Chains A and B, each alone.
Chain A
């Protein structure tokens, strides 16, 4: 499902009053401002943070009291019992609620099913709310109940469509604003806010729900929610449900500095308990209002109640607000970006590190990884950079021979699984940038726009619409200016455009572009002066630089890079794009932070450099590829007698075999290096690793090994193969692949353990594995098989419910890739099922899949 054309309208700066959006028809062209449709002046003042606004309390509690059965759809009562719903609303209005919230929390198409349409429910619900005489009617929008990709199976655009349908229905029915609430997933909140923003011009209130640990179920913090959602264009952000007001107060206070818009709180009346069959809440109105008062003091301006609250609570809050004026707020203007788990802020005077490694340009292994679709190497680079101290990761998938947009989105989804760092979307294609930032759960950086009119027209509206930070390259139609002054001129033009689009200055990061010192020795001075000029003449903007170009053509490049980076920091550089796994570069960053006081009391520096000297350079503390998780492994000489008699032998080939059999990967690189010193590569593979793996297979079949042992052996063998590959790369030779196998877990299923085991084993046996992941659409799989002309496909399903998806995939393969043999496996499969779904082979386990591959593709 994709969004309709009008749904991709861009615009909407984050100022509260003169809010505008871009005319959809002029997208990618010039844009004009359009005001939010705000019902009256009071609401306009509320959105500017100048007035308080009082919502209502719980709907569910009231319905429960009237005998709604557990698990029933309360939304249908709008149609069947409108008078009762209006009564509930009216009681809140009489208690002082300015806003009543429609009874539509679960009114989405999948939940309503055949019972009613979304339009019918919203129409009735808004009518019920209006009949109460409330000043404003807030259309309530709750979560979909399904988990979005990549953790779940619901595509972002499908969630968007569900919300868009609710938004249109509510707008048509005459609601005055949207309240998107009780959301735990930042991606889902983003889909809902975008739907509201793109399909209506009514104000958007959005609250997420947090646990006692200060995070949502999916790990989002209040700071992340506030920064991301207010940047995206929510007009009020906040917290509701889950906790009582005393527990909500400190969390909502954490939101205040990071929200550029008013902040709201709707807490529960404490925790429910059942007494004589009646549900009671443990916090009375008086106590509730005391906690709300502390929130108002801190700067919260929109309040109401959630589960357990009644008109009594609202009446108390009304008294609280009466005669009070909003507390002035200090909004933080640090450079700040977010992932769903983490807010990274770089205050003025601090320096930040953006990892540059996930970019195929000039990197053979990265190119190979992106082309083959095997992202293990990419994930390793991400983890390495994270461990080495990167604060943001640049992601670039720009290779002409691959689908850049699809690859970038898949990479970003996978990267969220291995790192909590915010990402920087690096592409030259505006459509690719938009697709990537749209569904990204967080506030990313866009890399980049430049001073060319065409690029600015295309990229700046995307950054404004999605609330992203933006890298601005000082290059325009005439090329890169030679001088610092020339760079400033280009930056000035770009910043004029970002200002006009409503992008805050702190979100604009100017890149003065690094040129090689070897071709023009005057260039470095101009770059440094450019940084200083931009910072001085365009107050509020930040600067960034990819430094490694400076040393192009020179020997011992890291030294030149490091010296230049130090100079750039002194010139005022805020962010550097570097390889954080290079010790020398991070040495500059870490020592600079001491000199500026960013590293307070030099704590980090002392902790990490106390034992360092030129005589004792650090053992690569950086780039410990997941080494953190691996327990200490025995060195080769310590393995004698640890299970197999071969280990005692001094022959490295025999030792390597023994290590594979006992599943010890630690000693493998050293042993295989020794083998390669005496023999050629084919010997190491065919006389050492493969026979060991065959033996492992036999033991597994006999039951002498159980699954973890099989996998530990596969890991050890993989470590050996990696050593061989590195040796090959060094000598420029390559071992021919035995052929490619495409694998996936089918649509609707997210169990990927079995598929991953198969992948490990097939790779060990020398097959290239194209791993499409889990929950894979049949067409996506078939396309990959066709594109790579794959001769063997492996499909996995764990649940009966997903066997039909397996059958669909096979049918599609038969039509579009008739040459491709298909093997299937997974908990629910058996030989009969395999035949029924039309597979060629049934693989009862991973060892079997290797045998099938040998039969189809050759040994």
Chain B
């Protein structure tokens, strides 16, 4: 039997993505676009939204301690998991945190298969669909982040923002343990190549810190918060994550 999950498994409805965001991934800088190209972009976005199935696995772990490895690498240790957070970026990101939220999210193998089909048949279509899919998985990661923010708020904690392996000096080698800690290979179907590349490629893993006091980096205003569409904190508890 596979290891049993304590992590939470969630599906999200992502019904739209910001078209401007998709264009930004495509390197758009205000050029005049033909109606045909516009229509193809709309088509790619619509198809991606209908094929993509955003799902996430989430967990929180208390911070057990902080140490420095013999080679000087800072490390944040967590309770109840083999996952450790290494590097200066993590030392900074988790400075003062009491708990860590961990997420893995993917929009699924259907999107991957469509990308493969387009790579064999329609290269422009592949570029457009890829940008739409990147935007969509980031949107799904926003949703997963909103869930973690809500979990933190329930315990009176405040979060900062999500941070992914490969950024700063957070090692890519975090990936396998992080995925196993969330049982994400089995529950989400995320696989890892020997070069630590996730497939479906439109997947995101990340960690965020949870603190007893609001942080500068805490989601400050609901008006322009990227988690807003997925957050029901105010509706269910009458307060926001930064009150």
- Which residues on A are within 8 Å of B, measured CB to CB? 57-61, 63-64, 68-72, 74, 101, 103, 105-106, 110, 140, 142-143, 145-147, 150-154, 182, 184, 209, 217-219, 241, 271-272, 274, 279, 306-308, 375, 379-380, 383, 414, 417-418, 626, 629, 631, 633-634, 642-643, 662-664, 703-709, 711-712, 714-715, 748-753, 756-757, 759-760, 799, 801-802
Contact = CB atoms under 8 A, between A and B. Distances in A.
B8 interface: yes
B26 A711 contact: no
Given A151-B109, A663-B36, A60 B2 contact: yes
Contact of A60 (B4, B83, B194): B4
B108 interface: yes
A154 B197 CA distance: 12
Given A64-B3, A306-B1, A748-B197, A662 B180 contact: no
A57 B1 CA distance: 8
Contact of B26 (A59, A103, A241, A706): A706
Interface stretch (B67-75, B120-128, B233-241): B120-128
A60 B33 contact: no
B33 A101 contact: no
A151 B116 contact: yes
B127 A711 contact: yes
Contacts of A759: 123
Given A706-B27, A709-B31, A748-B195, A663 B83 contact: no
A13 B226 CA distance: 58
Contacts of B113: 151, 219, 417
Contacts of B31: 703-706, 709
Given A708-B26, A712-B37, A218 B109 contact: yes
A760 B59 CA distance: 44
22 contacts: A60-B2, A72-B82, A103-B1, A151-B112, A182-B2, A217-B108, A218-B189, A274-B6, A379-B121, A629-B121, A633-B36, A643-B34, A663-B36, A664-B34, A708-B128, A712-B34, A712-B36, A714-B124, A750-B193, A750-B197, A753-B126, A801-B197
Give 6 closest A-B pairs by Cβ, nearest first.
A217-B189, A71-B181, A60-B4, A59-B1, A71-B82, A748-B195
B195 A799 contact: yes
Nearest to B177: A71
Contact of B197 (A143, A642, A749, A760): A749
B5 interface: yes
A147 B193 contact: yes
A526 B128 CA distance: 56
Given A154-B193, A184-B189, A706 B6 contact: no
A168 to B, nearest CB: 22
A334 to B, nearest CB: 27
A707 B26 contact: yes
Nearest to B188: A217
Given A707-B127, A759-B123, A145 B192 contact: yes
A142 B183 CA distance: 13
A708 B172 contact: no
A697 to B, nearest CB: 15
Contacts of B127: 707-708, 711, 753, 757
The listed residue with most A CB atoms (<10 A of its CB), out of B81, B123, B188, is: B123
A182 B35 CA distance: 47
Contact of A241 (B2, B110, B130, B196): B2
Contacts, number: 210
Given A70-B59, A279-B6, 8 more contacts: A58-B4, A71-B82, A71-B178, A418-B117, A631-B39, A706-B27, A711-B123, A753-B126
A375 B42 CA distance: 28
B168 interface: no
A631 B144 CA distance: 34
Given A272-B6, A307-B4, A748-B193, A756 B83 contact: no
Contacts of A709: 31, 33, 37
Contacts of A274: 6, 8
Given A631-B40, A752-B119, A703 B1 contact: no
B183 to A, nearest CB: 8
B7 interface: yes
Contacts of B1: 57-61, 101, 103, 105, 140, 306-307
B18 interface: no
Given A756-B119, A760-B123, A750 B199 contact: yes
B32 interface: yes
A827 B81 CA distance: 34
A629 to B, nearest CB: 6
Interface centre among A58, A274, A643, A706 (most CB of B within 10 A): A706
Given A707-B127, A708-B41, A417 B117 contact: yes
Contacts of A634: 36
Nearest to B39: A631
B185 interface: yes
B212 interface: no
B125 to A, nearest CB: 7
B191 interface: yes
Nearest to A704: B31
Contacts of A418: 117, 120-121
Contacts of B125: 629
Contacts of B185: 143, 145
Interface in B28-74: 28-29, 31-37, 39-41, 43, 59, 61
A801 B172 CA distance: 9
Interface string B88-105: 000000000000000000
B156 interface: no
Given A152-B199, A753-B126, A64 B6 contact: yes
Contact of A147 (B36, B117, B120, B191): B191
Contacts of A72: 81-82
Nearest to B180: A71
Contacts of A271: 9
B4 to A, nearest CB: 4
Given A58-B1, A60-B4, A802 B123 contact: no
Given A71-B178, A151-B116, A417-B119, A631 B43 contact: yes
Contacts of A71: 81-83, 177-178, 180-181
Nearest to A305: B1
Given A71-B180, A663-B34, A708 B124 contact: yes
Contacts of B40: 631, 708, 712
B205 interface: no
B130 to A, nearest CB: 6
Contacts of A308: 4
Contacts of A752: 119
B197 to A, nearest CB: 6
Interface in B124-160: 124-128, 130
Given A105-B1, A631-B39, A662 B193 contact: no
B4 A756 contact: no
A749 B195 contact: yes
Contacts of A631: 36, 39-40, 43
B197 A799 contact: yes
Nearest to A217: B189
B191 A756 contact: no
Contacts of B4: 58, 60-61, 63-64, 272, 279, 307-308
Nearest to A103: B1
Contacts of B109: 151, 217-219
Contacts of B3: 60, 63-64, 68, 70, 74, 105
A182 B8 CA distance: 19
B19 interface: no
Contacts of B82: 69-72
Contacts of A756: 119, 123, 126
B36 A753 contact: no
Interface string B1-26: 11111111100000000000000001
A178 B47 CA distance: 41
A706 B31 CA distance: 7
